Chains A and B, each alone.
Chain A
């Protein structure tokens, strides 16, 4: 089965902790993305990567970090500097070669709650 997996499905964080959200894809896509979704709001871009070992900040990168050491994997770390991390996090991937018409595929999401 091809697709995107995210783990864990639910994650709880204490104040001052760093946590890492996993995102893995077996679609052989070059580009990967992390979005944050808050209740009643659309998707906001945190980070994206178009190729291994390269990534760029999105609209709300402060308090987050990423790595892209493998094509299949794009983990997101929510650091203690992120003051309001409770949200639903979505990972996506997309084939890079076809231009604007290429479809973005999404994982099932991780719900992060700060205790």
Chain B
């Protein structure tokens, strides 16, 4: 069975400082991995996805994530936080044949001025 664990329920940063949101996965084979962002009272928007091509994946709004098989991790980073980055972030793993994605519990990113 596949699963993802988001290691922090809340992350607080100051505007202009780096962002690190951590996600570990568990999978018996090479997974597909996604990061989504959700602003308050909105739907989820895809930031980026890994599907066994390049291990460093660049997404929208300056975010990127690195797939590390040895560490079973797919952490999301951004060099400099902006106030508009304050939102909920979800790490998701794609399913196998059943097409049922597995969601992490989410990390709330708080950005201080």
Contact = CB atoms under 8 A, between A and B. Distances in A.
Report whether over half of chain A's contact residues are helix, strand or loop; otherwise say mixed: strand
B43 A42 contact: no
Contacts of B101: 104
A106 B103 CA distance: 14
A101 B32 contact: yes
A42 B49 contact: no
A106 B34 CA distance: 13
Interface residues of B, number: 27
Interface residues of A, number: 27
Contacts of A108: 42-43
Contacts of A106: 36, 43-45
Contacts of A6: 43
Contacts of A88: 41
B94 A43 contact: no
Contacts of B92: 104
Contacts of A66: none
Interface of A: 4, 6, 31, 41-43, 45, 48, 50, 58, 88, 90, 92, 94, 96, 99-109, 111
7 contacts: A41-B106, A42-B105, A100-B31, A100-B95, A101-B51, A103-B46, A104-B34
